[in-house]
């Protein structure tokens, strides 16, 4: 049974059909100014999350369909024949869902799975007052602009999507003129901003969580080996900031291109002064980087290895060099439960991004039911209490990025095991 998807506002509880019998619902959103200090709901409980099944990591190019993938490889293949618009549900609140349904290859496969998950969310939510306006953007900025314009013209109060970072600005240019919010599925934080919120797993969240955890266990000196690409640039900035916040020090830092050997040798020579080694890349590349470190003479069993959610990959689990490494990622139990319900409904496995669409639809359905006319306003979407979803807590920041509550997982042969669970509420 998955975590409860109840949304509780005040004393009212709303749950999807599969969660009706659950009693472990979390507290819901509360506007900070709506409760006096004498209210029994004031104080620490106001930090509890909206109990609403949401969330899921994003893969930008939809490569690596069963695991978390590099979000910065986001070029869609040429589109096939456009998919016809579709309306699902009969509710009074219209919501645009923009996906690359006709894109070729993995992008189109992911879009179909996300569309299925969105429809599943409507079916599992009790009597949602939502009508989904499903639009195909063909995986292009031009398609996103056309799809968004169609949804807005049909009365959409909020847009869910697009998937690709290159398409988000095209949609945002239209929604901002109408004062309509966007919840996009990109992991490129540069496309977030006023009225554009990212429902995805940002690399920054992974880095912050794993560095914080390592520091809490006494790690103070860090070495790092990162790819010299867009993903590596984002991770580098987050890593240096996270280490600085914990008054740690970076004793070695190198980036690599196709040749990992030179960077690996440089880092290996400095490992004697470090008590943690951070490697952030996708599954194949992490294994190759670890092998390069071993070839350079590093004994990786004598240092704590750290990574990001891209380590959630069978190749990493099978690597002898990476055994015992720690990485930040969603607790996998939420996705397993979601996958079981998806398989029962559609007869196939969902892609890992499918939770994004489910989460987004569940969120807007709950807010439409509970938040009145301000349901999709920035004040509601950026409630500091956040939301609790399939993959743990998250909250939108005012700048459109998000903060995630992640577990810390340990690499083991055949899989991974949690060593620190996801937080149950956000701090201040």
The closest of 287, 256, 291 to 411, measured between CA atoms, is: 287
DSSP string across 55-91: -----SS--STTS---TT--PPPPB-SPPPPEEE---
Position 14 scores a pLDDT of 37
- Tell me what percent of the chain is helix, strand and coil, each rounded to the nearest 5: 40, 20, 40
Position 56 scores a pLDDT of 32
Rounded average pLDDT per 10-residue block, the chain, 428 residues: 34 38 29 25 29 33 39 50 85 97 94 96 92 97 97 98 96 97 95 96 94 97 97 97 97 96 97 96 95 96 96 95 96 93 97 91 93 95 89 90 94 92 82
Burial of 145 (0-12, 13-18, 19+ CB in 10 A): buried
Position 257 scores a pLDDT of 95
- The answer to whether 256 touches 264, Cβ cutoff 8 Å, is yes
- The answer to whether 189 touches 204, Cβ cutoff 8 Å, is yes
Q: Which residues pair with 410 in a beta bridge?
A: 326, 417
Q: How many CA atoms lie within 13 A of 98 on its CB side?
A: 37
Q: How many CB atoms lie within 10 A of CB 380?
A: 17
Q: Which residues pair with 95 in a beta bridge?
A: 132, 158
- The Cα–Cα gap between 102 and 111 comes to 8
Residue 2 DSSP code: P
224: tokens are: 């790092």
- The answer to whether 391 touches 331, Cβ cutoff 8 Å, is yes
Position 327 scores a pLDDT of 98
Characterize the bridge pairing of strands 387-389 and 392-396. Answer: antiparallel
- The Cα–Cα gap between 21 and 24 comes to 9
């Amino acid at each position: 049974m998955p975590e409860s998807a109840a949304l509780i506002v005040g004393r009212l509880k709303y749950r999807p059909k599969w969660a009706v019998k659950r009693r472990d619902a979390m507290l819901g959103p509360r506007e900070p100014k709506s409760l006096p200090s004498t209210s029994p709901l004031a104080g620490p409980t106001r930090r509890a999350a909206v109990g609403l099944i949401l969330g899921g990591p994003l893969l930008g190019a939809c490569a690596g369909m069963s695991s978390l993938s590099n979000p910065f490889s986001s070029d869609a293949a040429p589109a096939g024949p456009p998919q016809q618009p579709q309306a699902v549900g009969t509710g009074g609140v219209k919501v645009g869902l923009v996906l690359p349904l006709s894109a070729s290859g993995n992008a189109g496969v992911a879009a179909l799975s996300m569309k299925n998950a969105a429809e599943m969310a409507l079916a599992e939510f009790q009597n949602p007052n939502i009508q989904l306006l499903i639009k195909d953007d063909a995986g292009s900025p031009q398609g996103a602009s056309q799809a968004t314009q169609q949804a807005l013209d049909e009365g959409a109060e909020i847009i869910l999507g697009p998937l690709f970072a290159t398409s988000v600005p095209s949609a945002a240019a239209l929604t901002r003129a109408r004062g309509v919010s966007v919840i996009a599925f990109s992991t490129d934080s540069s496309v977030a901003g006023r009225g554009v919120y990212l429902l995805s797993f940002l690399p920054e969240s992974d880095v912050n969580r794993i560095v914080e955890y390592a520091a809490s266990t006494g790690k103070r000196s860090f070495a790092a080996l990162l790819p010299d690409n867009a993903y590596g640039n984002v991770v580098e900035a987050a890593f240096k900031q996270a280490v600085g916040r914990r008054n740690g020090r970076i004793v070695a830092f190198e980036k690599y291109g196709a040749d990992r050997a030179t960077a690996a040798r440089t880092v290996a020579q400095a490992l004697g002064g470090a008590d943690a080694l951070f490697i952030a890349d996708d599954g194949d590349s992490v294994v190759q980087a670890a092998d390069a470190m071993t070839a350079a003479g590093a004994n990786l069993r004598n240092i704590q290895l750290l990574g990001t959610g891209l380590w959630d990959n069978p190749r990493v689990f099978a690597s002898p060099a990476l055994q015992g490494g720690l990485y930040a990622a969603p607790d996998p139990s939420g996705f397993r439960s979601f996958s079981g319900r998806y398989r029962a409904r559609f007869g196939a496995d969902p892609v890992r991004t499918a939770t994004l669409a489910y989460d987004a639809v569940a969120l807007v359905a709950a807010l439409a039911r509970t938040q009145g006319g301000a349901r999709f306003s920035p004040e509601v979407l950026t409630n500091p209490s956040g939301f609790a979803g399939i993959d743990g807590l998250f909250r939108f920041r005012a700048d459109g990025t998000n903060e995630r509550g992640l577990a810390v997982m340990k690499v083991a042969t055949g899989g991974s095991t949690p060593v620190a669970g996801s937080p149950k509420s956000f701090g201040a």
